[in-house]
């Protein structure tokens, strides 16, 4: 039986002006990946106040790829490729 996603918050902005950045840390034989548990991850972060309305949510997935999870009203809506001037995908959230 696997548990919910196990992740670390590697960048946090309490004002919600910069992205909230997570890193999926597994181990995946005991925990779901952030990708596979994204609905619960977004809900959990929203309810706790760590993910603000309109704030970007980026995460380094179990394969080391940087992904963006779009959300609205505390609910996950879709995945996106994070493309933005000044955002270096290799520097956000550690290795890459």
With respect to residue 62, please indicate whether it lies within any of the assigned structural domains.
yes
With respect to residue 44, please indicate whether it lies within any of the assigned structural domains.
yes
With respect to residue 93, please indicate whether it lies within any of the assigned structural domains.
no
With respect to residue 15, please indicate whether it lies within any of the assigned structural domains.
yes
Query: CA-to-CA distance for 76 and 56, rounded, in angstroms?
Result: 12
With respect to residue 90, please indicate whether it lies within any of the assigned structural domains.
no
Q: Residue 47: give the domain boundaries.
A: 7-80
pTM of the model: 0.84
With respect to residue 23, please indicate whether it lies within any of the assigned structural domains.
yes
Nearest to 19 by CA among 63, 59, 47, 62: 59
What are the tens digits of pLDDT across the range 37-81? Answer: 999 999 999 999 999 999 999 999 878 889 999 999 999 999 998
How far from 8 is each of 23, 36, 42, 55, 73, CA to CA, in Å?
A: 5, 16, 14, 17, 22
Domain count, the chain: 1
With respect to residue 20, please indicate whether it lies within any of the assigned structural domains.
yes
Q: Do you know the residue count of the chain?
A: 96
């Amino acid at each position: 039986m696997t548990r919910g996603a196990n992740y670390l918050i590697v960048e946090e902005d309490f004002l919600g002006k910069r992205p909230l950045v997570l890193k999926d840390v597994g181990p995946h034989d005991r925990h779901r990946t952030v990708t596979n548990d994204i609905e619960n991850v977004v809900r959990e972060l929203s309810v706790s106040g760590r993910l603000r309305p309109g704030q970007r949510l980026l995460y380094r997935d179990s394969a080391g790829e940087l992904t963006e999870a779009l959300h609205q009203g505390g609910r996950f809506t879709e995945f996106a490729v994070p493309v933005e001037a000044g955002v270096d995908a290799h520097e956000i959230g550690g290795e890459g």
